[in-house]
Amino acid sequence: MHRQHRRRLPTAAAVLTLGLLVGAGGVTAATTRSATPKLGGTWSGKYSGAVSGTFTLRWTQTAGRLRGTINLSNPHGQYGIDGTIVRGKIKFGAVRVGATYTGSASASGLKMSGTWASGRGGGSWSAHKLLSAPKVTLP
């Protein structure tokens, strides 16, 4: 007398639940899109409008806070800056120049753009992150 064991097939609900737990790629991708981009490093950019020129931006990022320096071509000089980045929206300012910058950063953290304003007027700006090659030590 053999007792036959019947294999139970998973229900559609069990398969769907297992798929969500194992292959949470869709959930992870949605979470990643809303994450704050990493903007620390060196950036090269340009601005136009009431005043035009180029800039080099160097800053560090701690959570959503940004601090560093900006070298402007017009008005020429290096100025301290601080700002914030929240869900890809960026705000920063060069206090001594009286300029404020707002805009957005790409999810990759490699590009950003927006508008600027100061007592001299306003305009648009854009920047890209400068990437450096890793240092290799040869024997």
CA quadruple 75, 78, 82, 85: dihedral positive or negative? positive
**Which range marks the domain in which residue 60 is found?**
41-121
Q: In this predicted structure, what is the pLDDT of residue 133?
A: 74
Indicate whether 66 belongs to any domain. Answer: yes
The answer to whether the CB of 99 falls within 8 A of the CB of 87 is no
Which residue is it, tokens 């053999």? 2
Alpha helices in the chain (DSSP H): 12-22, 25-34
Indicate whether 128 belongs to any domain. Answer: no
Indicate whether 15 belongs to any domain. Answer: no
Indicate whether 5 belongs to any domain. Answer: no
Q: In this predicted structure, what is the pLDDT of residue 48?
A: 96
The answer to whether the CB of 114 falls within 8 A of the CB of 57 is no
Indicate whether 53 belongs to any domain. Answer: yes
Instruction: Tally the domains of the chain.
Output: 1
pLDDT band at 96 (very low <50, low <70, confident <90, very high): confident
Indicate whether 16 belongs to any domain. Answer: no
- The tens digit of pLDDT for each residue in 33-63 reads 457 889 999 999 999 999 999 999 999 999 9
